[in-house]
Amino acid sequence: MTDWREQLAVPRDDFIPSVVWVDDPATDGFAAVSRDDDEPRWRALVDADEPIITQVDDGRTSPGGTGLRPSSSCSQPSLVAAMLDALDVREGHRVLEVGTGTGWNAALLAERVGETGHVVSIEVDTDVADNARGSLARAGYAPLVVTADGTEGYPPDAPYDRVICTASVRQIPRTWIDQTRPSGVLVTPWGTDYGDDALTRLEVHEDGSASGRCGMNLAFMRVRHQRRDYLDPTAEQISAADKTVTPRSGRELFEMVTFSRAAFTIGLRVPNCYVTVEDLDDDHRRIELHDVRSQSWARVSLVRGQDPWTVCQLGARRLWDEVDAAYAWWLDAGQPTPDRYGLTVQPDGTHTVWIDTPDSDSRWSLTLSRDNAQSA
């Protein structure tokens, strides 16, 4: 197999802005690192096989402030190579990229399609798009960079042979499929509100459907109107919450929040449920479940050596009960791993997930909308 470094013909340092952001333990947020002030540290970040945060808080936080939410980044190089490998871009292809970011991936796509191909890259953030255009021009690349909502695609230059998204989605937009040629390929991080996403590769069919398989674990930023949010109940609300205990062991709770074990399945069976895990210290862990739509929340408080552990639940839904039932289903189904799952998007937009084959008895539909998702 070709080493991933050999697949990336364009150096990424020309596309990384002079200010990037890193975890700041002192504030539990993100702090700026400037190339002008600390060239060695900036260079180490650029040269590492790691993602680089290039914007926080949709650009509202400036260097010197504390960032709260990453909002744009340059992906991990080895992962970029894996996604391009899955996309299988050929010379002469017409490619739609959703999420321009720094412009580096657009340059890599332009290299692959050559002079006879065409790359359209869409970026929702005006400043990010402008910076990418400048970096691409300086590096000698001229893809069309459009400032718009990438989930709408770009109809004027359709149809495309390939579509790639560099942010995660819980719904595959019909526009992407409609703007792709039959036998064309779509690659995106796809998943649920619950946890990480899977690298999903779909092929578009003559009847307007698209289907394919899920793959490796990805932790990408969400497209902006599908971001996951959490609840922060007050002490009074938590005190008044329903309280029970769970007989689940530490190993089982680990499986419930781990992508390669039960977490991907749980997300597919429990809609609108966002899981967060917080290690307070070596002996205390909190697993929380959030549904901001129904204002429902649950917490399992783990204390080493003091099980069974307490479960708190409040709101219209009993999220822990739903998640626990989904975990039991996963056990009964033979503990399917994420790579056994596939996805079919029908012409009417229905998302059907299946295990092993599309006609499997283990399949069910997800009815999705722009801002909501319910399991059928």
CA angle 200, 20, 186 (to 5 degrees): 15
The strand pair at 284-291 and 160-165 is best described as: unpaired
Q: Tokens for 143?
A: 């893809």
Q: Which helix (H) or strand (E) holds 70?
A: strand 70-74
Buried/exposed code over 205-236 (b: 16+ C-beta within 10 A; e: otherwise): beeebbbbbbbbbbebbbbeebebeebebeee
* Catalytic choice (71, 72, 73, 75): 75
Dist CA 50 CA 214 (whole Å)? 23
Tokens coding 190? 């796809």
For residues 315 and 313, give the distance between their C-alpha atoms in angstroms, rounded to a whole number. Answer: 7
Specify the 3-state DSSP secondary structure of 268: helix
The angle formed by the CA atoms of residues 204, 171 and 56, to the nearest 5 degrees, is 120
Give the list of residues 6+ apart from residue 220 with CB closer than 8 angstroms, or none.
Answer: 75, 166, 167, 168, 189, 197
Helices 126-139 and 104-113: angle between axes, nearest 10 degrees: 50
| Residue 75 a catalytic site member | yes
Catalytic residues: 75
